[in-house]
Chain A
């Protein structure tokens, strides 16, 4: 038993077919630990999203292995991979991907609903998750009535509400201004440190660097800089947008 909740070994991934085939990942070793926020940085097209999707069991590698919370994913079919995501992983996307016809609470509650948690208790938990990201005033708003930063916070609440061991965020601050970006990063850092989750944030935004416990750089499908441990940022400061 170790601290690693995600372990990727020698992961290779090719995308596209025929002449359009791209060797997006060329042998990646990366592990994510509880209580740690890892930044995955690199130029556009370097394979960051591909790696995040492989680690998140949304893409299966062509070779190499991915283990989530001790469960190897090699033999899992689509449905089994969905179950692993359901049990262990929370996603945050650059473009939020909220359901436009559902309220903030309902959006969050969906993450519980797909896990078989229904009813009042689930709605209650969802409102608590929204309060944790500072949105107690917006629980009944539709995404269309929320700012980008608020929408991303709903998305984070949705990713966290079912207590996943791993949170994978793809450019979560990419569409946000500085202040909103800061508050999103604070929530993610707090998630890592206080809730003891493994958090991976894909970014090429240098402003988020101070929140990282570890930075991994990727270029052309390869990790070019071995993970560096950094001093931990204090995150107990309350954040409000």
Chain B
């Protein structure tokens, strides 16, 4: 081990209590930022889960529709016009909306209906773990997510309930399709979706378009735009980012998460800066001795930066451990915290930056020492 590293670590570990305080500060801060950002990612992923899983290239939406759950409607005749255009493989109407679900116990709970268009192959139940999706086209069959079993009062395929006075039967079960609003998604056939949500026959929430593989996408997009007039045509990517920015920033939820993260960074930086500064003050005599021996300022900064880096590495390791426990604990919850390798890397970089920035106060203090004064005492 290099001597600077030895000196830096001895300086740190010498005062156990202060080291513990530093670790608490870093871990608190990093875990807070991790959870906020993990929620942000989890949230961002959740609000686009339907868009991610539809096999559409383009979404035709009522003008100004902000997200998948937007209740506005458009003229379903658009679908027929677009379906026959050049470059279009298929176009399928989608109907969504809130409805009421009556449990066998008589209790009523709101659900979010999503029409599954199996024939056109647009949006279908995904992550199916049990049952038979094609059965959705027959009678009043539904697909539900198993994370909502309790809420919906069902126990799996074969269970029954009522939607708007009509008896429905669970024929397929998915896993992990959770909605941000915590209202359970219920997949039904298009015709039933209209009934359950009260959507008129000539209306739809949106139209999903799949282009032919060899189509000129730019050309098709502008042709469709010209055809649909008032309605908007978005690529899946555009719709995803529009939904995300609506939920995350339009609602203030994202801003709140970022504010929490920022708070974490500030608190962490202040605590680490404080402990590094007081550690440096305690070792001022040693730094003065180094300076008297002729060490360059750069050497002294290296000692302090190493202290900061040791803090960062140990603190981050502990925080990452706690973070992975939190991820596991929330994995099955309504809003799972998502931690990606990128988030981890960014958090590590943030921790390093935070710790090194915390060293600035200590460095400024050290630059001001005049070794002569130490030796005149």
Contact = CB atoms under 8 A, between A and B. Distances in A.
Interface of A: 49-50, 53, 56, 58-59, 79, 82-87, 89, 91, 93, 97, 99, 101-102, 106, 109-111, 113-115, 118, 122, 158, 170
A96 to B, nearest CB: 9
Contacts of B285: 97
A111 B291 CA distance: 11
Nearest to A118: B2
B296 A114 contact: yes
Contacts of B286: 97, 99
Contacts of A115: 294
Interface string B139-153: 000000000000000
A85 B286 CA distance: 16
Contacts of A101: 7, 10-11, 14
A59 B14 CA distance: 32
A91 B372 CA distance: 12
Given A97-B375, A102-B10, A158-B293, 5 more contacts: A56-B292, A83-B294, A86-B294, A101-B7, A101-B10
Nearest to B14: A101
A91 B293 CA distance: 7
15 contacts: A79-B297, A82-B291, A85-B292, A86-B296, A89-B294, A97-B289, A97-B292, A97-B374, A106-B6, A106-B7, A109-B3, A113-B3, A113-B4, A114-B290, A122-B3
B376 A50 contact: yes
A89 B372 CA distance: 15
Interface in B262-304: 285-286, 289-297, 299
B294 A106 contact: no
Interface in B338-377: 371-372, 374-376
A89 B291 CA distance: 12
Contacts of B293: 85-86, 91, 110-111, 114, 158
B295 A86 contact: yes
A111 B375 CA distance: 18
B3 A82 contact: no
Nearest to A164: B294
Interface of B: 2-4, 6-7, 10-11, 14, 285-286, 289-297, 299, 371-372, 374-376
A158 B297 CA distance: 19
Closest 7 pairs between A and B when the two form their complex, measured CB to CB: A86-B294, A85-B294, A101-B10, A114-B295, A97-B289, A58-B372, A113-B3
B296 A79 contact: yes
A102 B7 contact: yes
B296 A99 contact: no
Given A110-B7, A113-B3, A114-B299, A87 B294 contact: yes
A139 B7 CA distance: 17
A91 B7 contact: no
Contact of A91 (B4, B11, B292, B295): B292
Nearest to A159: B293
Nearest to B375: A93
Nearest to B286: A99
A53 to B, nearest CB: 5
A207 to B, nearest CB: 23
A110 to B, nearest CB: 6
Contacts of A58: 292, 371-372, 375
Contacts of B294: 82-87, 89, 114-115
A108 to B, nearest CB: 11
B375 A106 contact: no
A86 B2 CA distance: 20
Contacts of B296: 79, 82-83, 86, 114
A158 B374 CA distance: 18
A102 B371 contact: no
B71 to A, nearest CB: 67
Contacts of B297: 79, 82
Nearest to A49: B376
A110 B2 CA distance: 11
Contacts of B295: 82, 86, 114
Contacts of B371: 58
Given A58-B372, A97-B285, A102 B6 contact: yes
B217 to A, nearest CB: 60
